[in-house]
Structure 1
Amino acid sequence: MSCKESPHVGASTTTVSSVAVHAGDSKIVIAVVKCGKWVRLQLAESQPNLLEIGSSQDETKKLLHDHELLLAKLKALEDRVWELLREADRTAEANKAQSQVYDAMAQTLGEAWATLVSMLERRRELLGLTSEFFQSALEFAIKIDQAEAFLQNPHEFESTEALQSLLLLHDRHAKELLERSLDLLNKSQQLTDFIEKFKCEGSTMNSELIQGAQSSCLKIDSLLELLQDRGRQLDKYLQQQRQELSQVLQLCLWDQQENQVSSWFQKAIRDLQEQSLGASLSDNRELICKHEDLIVKAKEWDSAVEKLKSQALGILLSKDLAGKEHLQLSNQKLNRLQEEFGRLMVERKAWLSMANDFFTSANKSFDVLGKVEAYLKLLKSEGLSLPVLAAKHEELHREIKDSTATALQKGRTLISQVDSCR
């Protein structure tokens, strides 16, 4: 109870006695103050300030260790406080006229002691939260150092798989940086909220607490801003390098697909250039069926080419992309292969069709020649006169000439066109 609450408004306040409790570099002084007939406890001095948090993890741990010892020593004095309360009770018994005053004084002393212990326990909680904050800051700083070392080390990769693994490492570093940053923000918010609440609790608020709170919050904000600035700058570099590596990976994957597609077209072109038109009508028909199958398969590869062209266009539109010239040359080569393949496919289809016409006509000619041969054998057995036989032979000669003319013409035309394209 303060003296303002005492009925003896004009009474002076004097310190009856005081107790200093030391632990390491920490110290508190508890004073027994008398105001008129009233006696109360007050925290006369606290070193360091109740809201002082230290400037590092080690310093905070030292403060917490000293404070634990301080609390233990303070609680050892509790028996003396209760003895003082019992003395107040005995005085009240002896002085019935002032019993209400002594009862009130005993209650006030008990509440003051409980408040004092509560304040010191709250400080222990504050130092515990501070230790967690500095631990979080340390983990964030370590993660920043690791990510900086990762960025500064040269990275070599010999395959797209190695490059993809490198990008995964980038993602992991970025994710862990974000997690550490958010954890530090949460810890700092918890700590500053606790300091503000502690500063304003009950009748404990005074200029020293306000100053201690401001000093501690400044330390928190300064460290937080320092680490957040480093984290933001590092994240910027991570994103920049990741973008560059992503572009390299995009080019590598495009090259892989382009090589696969180009290899297929190159083999198909060689096959088209080397394949025959068949040795018979049945061979020719089989080759025509294979060619139709190739047309169907080529549509899939044509789609792959169009997809690669679209991807190439998107990559070429990217800013500050290395390897654009290589991409353009590869894209041009792919276009040439596709055009050459298309030309050969049209050409081979026409030749197969011409060969089919030739073989069909040739088969018809062979049928006629077979009939002529059989008729000649029959004529020999009939014993015809020479004039009649000569007339028959002339008639057969015209039939042979007529039946083979179409096949021969188609064969010469086919050979001429094929030779001109060799």
Structure 2
Amino acid sequence: MEQDKIRTRAWVLHPDIKSNSKRRPAEPALNEGVALAEALPDLDVIGSNVVRLPKAQSGTLFGSGKINELKAVFKAEDIDLVLVDGPVSPVQQRNLEKAWDVKLLDRTGLILEIFSDRARTREGVLQVEMAALSYQRTRLVRAWTHLERQRGGLGFVGGPGETQIESDRRAIDDQLVRLRRQLDKVVMTRALHREARAKVHYPIVALVGYTNAGKSTLFNRLTGADVMVKDMLFATLDPTMRRVELEDGPEIILSDTVGFISNLPTELVASFRATLEEVLAADLIIHVRDISHDETHNQAADVKTILTALGVDENRPQIEVWNKLDQLSEEEAEARSQRAENEDGVHAISALSGVGLPGLLRDIGEILQGVRLRETLNLGFSQGKQRAWLFREDIVESEEQTEDGFEITVLWTERQKSKFNAL
């Protein structure tokens, strides 16, 4: 009989540093840190707490009194791993691990660990590996077990059968070069796919939003797909794309992307640029918000900051979706819906129940197609290329053959008309 896998007993700390200009509300931040920890399947979160500090200590982050106090707690609770919801320098990490006799991960390390556990495609694996190497390049205090594996954890947390591999910056740089070459091939393939889609003129609609905002639930509802949906952070990592035919609208390619998070590690933003290029190439961006979350406004601001960092044009058409009406009381849901109706480009919905989706779909169609005009064209027999293009665009309402060619009635947008005239 197979033995149960030993689970790692973890404790989450959120340092609430008074002097930090990017300080977040402590309790919601701690809750998010716990949710991140719970997103790893092999962790048991035994406890958590906020540690209030006037300023961070350069060598140990926390003061000596707090270190001794926490050491007693960790020993009593038999803690194996401490997760610090914030940045921890290599020196601080080594000193705290020595003082507490535990392994320690900061926020970036934890997110990388989650991403590694979730990556399924070759592209996702490569991107996580590159991000982890960039993160660890200046640390060199970990076993590089993840260099020997295809996927499934980076080895930060630890486990049976680990092999200690002495690694230096040159070895890491060599590995980064190798991974970057492999990723370049993936990027090239993705670019070819984009070019192929561009030839058939399918508009791309990208779903973006804070992690666990309900993007995958909305994606599944609109496409009939079966993308994994769980009430956890980063349930979706690898991008998924499906074709959707809008009623009285164009066919579109809908893209479900990785969720964003506050203080998203810069290593991840850089490494996942290949995936997030789908957002840059999108004709329309749908920003999905969890409107029931206490921090919904701060989450929305974080998403907008990351979109700006990626280089998304401010003039790119966007729709803001206030999701999870089903999580609100009837009165709150009604108030949110009425407020959304009074704001341009905002829709209040429940991806779970389907409330508000017809209006959202109509808006998507109108933005992508614009106002459609009905016109009658007279094409000569020699204009076979133009006639074929009209049928390929699926905008022909009727056609009659005449002595000189064809009389064709079309329903099209100004954009399609311009493309036709350019043929």
TM-score range, shorter chain: under 0.3
Structure with more of its chain in strand, by fraction: 2
Structure with more of its chain in helix, by fraction: 1
Specify the structure having the higher radius of gyration (Cα).
1
What's the TM-score once normalised by structure 1's chain length?
A: 0.22
